[in-house]
Chain A
Amino acid sequence: MQIYICVKHVPDSAAHITILDKNRIDESISFLLNPYDEHAVTEAAKIKNNTPDSEVIAVCLGKNDAEKTIRSALAMGADRGILITCDKNYDSMVTALALKAAIEQDGTPGLIFTGKESIDAEGMQTMFRIGAVFDFPVATNVVKLDIEVDKAVVDCELSGGITNTYEMSLPCVLGAGKGLNTPRYPTFPDVVKSKKKPVQKIVFTDLNIKDSPAGMRIVELEPLHQARQPKEIKGDAGFVAKEIIRILKQEAKVL
Chain B
Amino acid sequence: MMKNIGVIIELDKGRVKETNFGMITLARAKDTQLFAFVMDADAKSVKEVLESFGITKIVEVWLAPDQLNNPVTRAKAMINAIKEFNISMVFGLSTAMGKDLLPRIAAHLFAPLVMDCFYVDLEQKIAKTYQYSGKTIATIQLTGEVLVFGIRPNAIEPVKAQEKAQMLKFDSSHIVATGFRVIKSGGIDKTTRINLAEADVIIAGGRGMKNSENFNILFQCAKKINAAVGASRVAVDAGWVPYSMQVGQTGEKVSPKVYIACGISGSIQHFAGMKTSGMIIAINTDENAAILSNCDYYVKADALEIIPTLTKILDNG
Q: Which residues of A contact B (CB under 8 A)?
A: 11, 13-14, 17, 19, 25, 35-36, 91, 93, 96, 119-125, 127-129, 131-132, 136-141, 153, 156-169, 172, 178-179, 212-224, 226, 228-234, 237-238, 240-242, 244-245, 247-248, 251-255
B11 on the A face (CB < 8 A): no
Q: Assess the A214–B110 pair: CB atoms within 8 A.
A: yes
If the complex has contacts A13-B133, A159-B96, A241-B309, are A216 and B257 also in contact, measured as CB distance less than 8 A? no
Q: Which one of B80-88, B174-182, B209-217 is at the interface?
A: B174-182
B46 on the A face (CB < 8 A): no
Q: Assess the A165–B269 pair: CB atoms within 8 A.
A: no
If the complex has contacts A168-B180, A172-B179, A231-B296, are A128 and B107 also in contact, measured as CB distance less than 8 A? yes
In the assembly, what is the distance between CA of A25 and CA of B137, in Å?
12
Could you tell me how many residues of chain B have their Cβ less than 8 Å away from some Cβ of chain A? 98
Q: Assess the A122–B201 pair: CB atoms within 8 A.
A: no
Min distance, Cβ A166 to any Cβ of chain B, angstroms: 6
CB contacts (< 8 Å) of B195 on chain A: these are 159-160
- Which one, B138, B272, B299, contacts A240 given CB within 8 A? B299
In the assembly, what is the distance between CA of A162 and CA of B276, in Å?
25
Q: Assess the B313–A165 pair: CB atoms within 8 A.
A: no
- Which one, A129, A132, A231, contacts B297 given CB within 8 A? A231
Q: What are 24 A-B contacts defined by CB distance under 8 Å? A: A35-B250, A119-B132, A119-B133, A119-B249, A124-B103, A125-B113, A132-B110, A153-B183, A159-B252, A164-B184, A212-B110, A217-B140, A218-B139, A221-B131, A221-B139, A222-B137, A224-B276, A232-B299, A237-B305, A238-B313, A241-B313, A248-B225, A251-B279, A252-B257
If the complex has contacts A124-B103, A157-B244, A214-B145, are A233 and B298 also in contact, measured as CB distance less than 8 A? yes
Interface hits, B166-216 → A, CB 8 Å = 178-189, 191-192, 195-197, 200-201
Q: Assess the A228–B280 pair: CB atoms within 8 A.
A: yes
